[in-house]
Structure 1
Amino acid sequence: MAKAAQVKVEEADYVVVGAGSAGCAVAARLAEAGSSVVLLEAGGSDEKFLVKKPGMIGPMHAVPKIKATVDWGYYTTPQQHALDRKIPQTRGKVLGGSSSVNGMLWVRGNRANYDAWEAEGNKGWGAADVTSLYKKIEDFEDGADDYRGAGGPIKVTRHGLVTEASAQFREAAAETLGVPVVKDYNGAEQEGMSTFQQSVHGGLRYSAARGYLHNLAPANLQVQTDVTVAKVVIEGGRATGVEVIDEGVRRVVRAGKEVILAAGVFGSPQLLMLSGVGPAAHLGEHGIEVVADLPVGDNLHDHLFVPITFLMKNAVHRGTPLHYARGLARELTRGGSFLAHSVFETVGFVRTSLATDVPDMQLHALPWAYPSPNQDAPVQHKVDKRRALTILATLIYPRSRGTLRLAGADPTAAPLIDFNYLAEPGDRQVLLEGITMTREIMRSAKVAAACGGELHPGPAFDDNALKDEIRNRATTVYHGVGSCRMGTDERAVVDPDLRVRGVDGLRVADASIMPSIIGGNTNAPSVMIGEKAAALITEAAS
């Protein structure tokens, strides 16, 4: 990426707020099309070994002092249906946003998800439409076909160092559940067991920042880091720029054409409300003048999982300081260690009894013991050195909905994040069935000989006990969406062209616009939303 000019640009055709998964894509594509663009990011540089090396996600998330350098440190409000737990919400405080701190799992979701969006009135968001965008984004290791792309800014590879324990689970699950082993779950059919695809290549994390900013490096894009956007400047019903806090000084960056909020599921609704766009009664509580009375912050939802850990003789533990030292030594000499890959290895998209037309359970395989019962406490968990395999039984279509609200009018204060986790009984039922099916798989002939028994939650928790224990163990995959819902009805914040209702020159482009969550990890869809936004804006301006 070209270095930013010493003098910061104070006006451009487009001002994009947030250099995360979607923001990097929309900013780079608009600049590539010939427009001047300023991209504003509250976090700092991503030029850190911790960020660039895929396998460093372990210490990045587990060591509090390290995590604080790249994460905003958000927590939910006490979750009423989850024992009043405050559940962490990791969000990247760095160029690339959460694509710089995530597990690098490249999952588009089920094609039916996008057709459902279109059926709700979101024209242009069906499976066929978004497939063309994904093909533009990807540089897939198998090359291009009817579904996959080659030559795009994000390199996508299959995990190349799958442990025997994870591979064995993949095969055992396919046989036990009667589903196929799928070569490409991002292709024609998602359902089945597979090897994870990762946004990783050559031992490097392919975050949105690497793909769109460092590699594309459009000359007419200026990136400003470590600046906090306080609000959108709205004059006469039109967004004309943003007010930023830069080294304690407030200044305005003007947008000649449009302002695009890509600050994420928490940041975008927070900024809208600080700017007078949101629920009128709530804004009034904080003395904010109402510009547009919209349901900003509603429809908040997320993926949840329960970890089930088994002792496995053929697992390879890689979580100790010694293992990291060995991995680093190899990376510095010849490369190709476990640090060159995501920590997640195999995956399945399968059905519980509550599934309708698509799989409703995602199984992530992780080749070590997960902290029990959860990772709520902001302390470093003791590493369990035993050989183990953890399966994350993941609810991918939650029914529960929550809200995001302002804690006050201070733009530097964290918002109030209430997912209302597990409010709907069906969510607990899907998770319970996910645990039950995982236990069944681990008793099968293909894996039983290597399995030394269930470590967590443990055999003491039968189905009856688990119904309540899920409240203590269920935790987030950090896939919050929906707080600036796209649609054509009164529940919508943005229309299908991502324009904020009632305010000209203002769009939102990130995971917050999803009407409903997709069936899989949300990074790839967030990048796609950025690409879509750029295409919509460019077409409208032509």
Structure 2
Amino acid sequence: MQQEYDYIVVGGGSAGCVLASRLTEDPNISVCLIEAGGQGDSWTVNIPAACVLSLPTKINNWAFETVPQAGLNGRKGYQPRGKCLGGSSAINAMIYIRGHRADYDAWAAMGNTGWSYDEVLPYFIKSENNERIHNEYHGQHGPLSVADMRSDSPIHERYIAAAQEQGYKVLDDFNGAEQEGLGIFQVTHINGERCSAARAYLFPHLQRPNLTVLTNAMTQKIIIEQKTAVGVEVQHAGQHKALYARKEVLLSAGAMQSPQILMLSGIGHEDELKQYGIEIKHHLPGVGKNFHDHPDFIFGYTVKETEGTFGISLSGSLDMVKQIKRYRKERRGMITSNFAECGGFIKTKPDLDMPNLQLHFVLALVDDHARKFHASHGLSCHVCLLNPRSRGSIQLSGSKVSDPLKIDPNFLGDPQDLEDLVQGFKLTRQLMASPSLAALYKQDLFTAEVQSDDDIRNLLRARVDTVYHPVGSCKMGIDDMAVVDPQLRVYGIHNLRVIDASIMPAVVNGNTNAPVIMIAEKAADMIRNSLDVQQVA
């Protein structure tokens, strides 16, 4: 195997797939992409509804746990993250959301030049191939297929009717001129199959002679010599190997593992690294700090009729046989479902500048990330707080990559997060009690006895967890706690960038996959532009 490349990309998730694809468009540039998981091309990835197998298990999933959360009665949270080519885009609910214009303008206002909404919008457009929406906000020529739901669920009409009964605006595009409203999500589908970042960006180009992809390869650390990243140490095919980068190492291992790899390589807070005997390469105190995520609560109901919902019953089983046949023939129906088919964005108070709650309406009964089984057919609705004030951390527990991470999102650590989520709970319960939806229910499983605000607070502390949007642990900025600059270069170390959700200074208003793909598209241009400048010089 070749030992030296122009670029080494650590992590074959959404960002890594984009980088490997875009950089190898130049036949004179060689790239090695290193992924700890497998190929990401099995039926468990490609069939949308099969995500229910990955979420609660270790199928293509790191299945991390948090440390005990003080704000959640000392409970440990669950943090599923993708472990295969495509990363979390291979196991997520495929929802295509970019965030709010104000998210990116806020990043720019923090000193992150080049990251305002108007400056990142071209990269969202560049990445996208939207089958339906053709306007100035969307693209039709990008690798990532974005499409309407193909489940044909009769429940959609009821959800839309409930939204109208509560006076909410109904949107058919959450990524256009406005975000506030409820409706049916667009998803990263291609002909009824999942369009992961690997399927969109990487798989069509595996034959490029300048692209090497290593799967089941665990990066141990970055090799740093004289404040310069020169390569990586990796465990692959039973061997410990050193691979070298002539130009740059690009770290795209995600919000948990990018800071981990930096710290194992000697980049982080020197006091924290010394306790594990790690040689200090550069004191960078922000590594692993600013970690945060959207805290989320889920309502759950059993239903009277099974049609359009998932569960186990005789009628449901008979229908599922039909649905499988339909999927094979038409690539439509319930097998194309991402489960969280509807949702949207609302405000706890009308005078807020932008929505601070996101709903995910699910055509199944969800309890503890599908790890607690209910045979009943049902419906669920997530409500998450979009702009949490709480900040946590990612920390090591030892000097080896196999030592478990101490993952601490510090959920509800800030008292205002709890109060905002109390209001979110009330608004969501009101929506779910709308006549069009309430007529379906047999039993309210989790909230029937909840009356007072204190009841709500107690229930939130007992049941809140992630909605799978961890970010921020290698934040971009110009302050003392920033890890990367606005070009995503790691402070104090040459030829090293971090390119993934960990660089977000603050989590966006919505799901994080589309923004990570945008970040990587923009980073690929930054890298090309820096090469052009070097060549001119």
Query: How many percent of aligned residue pairs carry the same amino acid?
Result: 40
One-letter code aligned to 1:477: V
Which of 37, 44, 52 is the aligned partner of 1:43?
37
Distance 1:162 1:192, change over 3 A: farther
| Aligned counterparts of 2:38 and 2:204: Cα–Cα separation in 1 | 18
One-letter code aligned to 1:214: F
Match of 1:367 in 2: 363
1:80–1:420 contact (8 Å) kept in structure 2: yes
One-letter code aligned to 2:35: E
Task: Please report how far the alpha carbon of residue 236 of structure 1 lies from its aligned counterpart in structure 2 after TM superposition.
Answer: 1.1
Q: Deviations over 1:282-315 (max 9, x none)?
A: 0011111211111100000001211112344466
The alignment yields a C-alpha RMSD, in angstroms, of 1.9
| Aligned counterparts of 1:181 and 1:92: Cα–Cα separation in 2 | 32
SS at match of 1:487: coil
Q: Flag structure 1 segments of 5+ consecutive residues without an equivalent.
A: 1-7
Distance 1:447 1:318, change over 3 A: closer
1:117-516 equivalence runs, <5 A: 117-176=107-166, 178-217=167-206, 218-294=208-284, 295-313=286-304, 316-320=308-312, 322=317, 325-353=321-349, 356-371=352-367, 374-375=368-369, 380-386=371-377, 388-452=378-442, 454-516=444-506
SS at match of 1:76: strand
Q: Deviations over 1:496-522 (max 9, x none)?
A: 000000000000000000000000000
Distance 1:515 1:174, change over 3 A: farther
| Aligned counterparts of 1:407 and 1:212: Cα–Cα separation in 2 | 35
| Aligned counterparts of 1:380 and 1:520: Cα–Cα separation in 2 | 24
Q: Deviations over 1:183-232 (max 9, x none)?
A: 21111111111211100121211101000111244442111101111111
2:127–2:139 contact (8 Å) kept in structure 1: yes
Give me the TM-score of the superposition, normalised by structure 1.
Answer: 0.93
Match of 1:17 in 2: 10
SS at match of 2:55: helix
Distance 1:226 1:469, change over 3 A: same
Task: Please report how far the alpha carbon of residue 143 of structure 1 lies from its aligned counterpart in structure 2 after TM superposition.
Answer: 4.9
Stretch of structure 1 that moved more, 268-277 or 53-62: 53-62
| Aligned counterparts of 2:321 and 2:77: Cα–Cα separation in 1 | 31
| Aligned counterparts of 1:131 and 1:491: Cα–Cα separation in 2 | 27
SS at match of 2:68: coil
| Aligned counterparts of 2:435 and 2:80: Cα–Cα separation in 1 | 38
1:348–1:364 contact (8 Å) kept in structure 2: yes
Q: Flag structure 2 segments of 5+ consecutive residues without an equivalent.
A: 533-537
SS at match of 1:198: coil
Task: Please report how far the alpha carbon of residue 464 of structure 1 lies from its aligned counterpart in structure 2 after TM superposition.
Answer: 2.4
Distance 1:354 1:250, change over 3 A: farther
Task: Please report how far the alpha carbon of residue 494 of structure 1 lies from its aligned counterpart in structure 2 after TM superposition.
Answer: 0.1
Distance 1:25 1:284, change over 3 A: same
| Aligned counterparts of 1:472 and 1:167: Cα–Cα separation in 2 | 32
2:297–2:465 contact (8 Å) kept in structure 1: yes
Is 1:106 equivalent to 2:100 in the alignment? Answer: no
Stretch of structure 1 that moved more, 407-416 or 504-513: 407-416
SS at match of 2:60: coil
2:253–2:500 contact (8 Å) kept in structure 1: yes
| Aligned counterparts of 1:407 and 1:326: Cα–Cα separation in 2 | 50
Query: What number of residue pairs does the alignment pair up?
Result: 524
| Aligned counterparts of 2:351 and 2:236: Cα–Cα separation in 1 | 49
Task: Please report how far the alpha carbon of residue 118 of structure 1 lies from its aligned counterpart in structure 2 after TM superposition.
Answer: 0.5
Task: Please report how far the alpha carbon of residue 326 of structure 1 lies from its aligned counterpart in structure 2 after TM superposition.
Answer: 4.5
Match of 2:510 in 1: 520
1:520-539 equivalence runs, <5 A: 520-539=510-529
